Amino acid sequence: MEDKAMSSSAIGTLIKIMETLPETLQDRVVEQSNITVTVSPDGKLEIPAEVESQLKPGDRYTVTVTKDSIVFQKMKAGFDWEEWRRRIDSLPPDPNPMTIEEICEVVREVRREKISERESQLLEPLYQFQTQIQSDTQVLEIPSICSIPQPSRVYEIAH
């Protein structure tokens, strides 16, 4: 019994250490760890608490079975259209549905905001550069073309 308590506290310490590591490093360490599980008399896997704490409802795993191994690999989250459709179908009808025109206007407004945001991101460095140039240099006044004296012209008239 004492060994089990020791191993549980050691596991707790290891988990705390792991949590201090960057996530990418945690993933590499977890990929390389091996945990022993036992099959109960009724044929079920006894999953240790530290593994069970990582399981979340709705997570899906592919199971690869070979002669010598059974590998559970978590499926990457993707958009499940069927689940989305089931959720939509289970909702009560919208009491104030939007018209096509209202939806189009919302889309236009979002597009305008995105374009404005993009433009400001592109123009901001130019504004900063212009401000820096103005603060670093003196203003050079260029006279207008009207104030520049014109050379006088002499015309000869032939007789």
Q: Which residue has the higher pLDDT, 146 or 44?
A: 44
Q: What is the rounded CA–CA span in Å between residue 50 and residue 37? A: 12
44 pLDDT above the threshold of 80: yes
54 pLDDT above the threshold of 70: yes
134 pLDDT above the threshold of 70: no
pTM greater than the 0.75 cutoff: no
Query: Of the ranges 11-20, 28-37, 70-79, which is most confident?
Result: 70-79
Average confidence (pLDDT) over 144-156: 58
Ramachandran class of 102: left when φ > 0, alpha when ψ lies in -120 to 50, beta otherwise: alpha
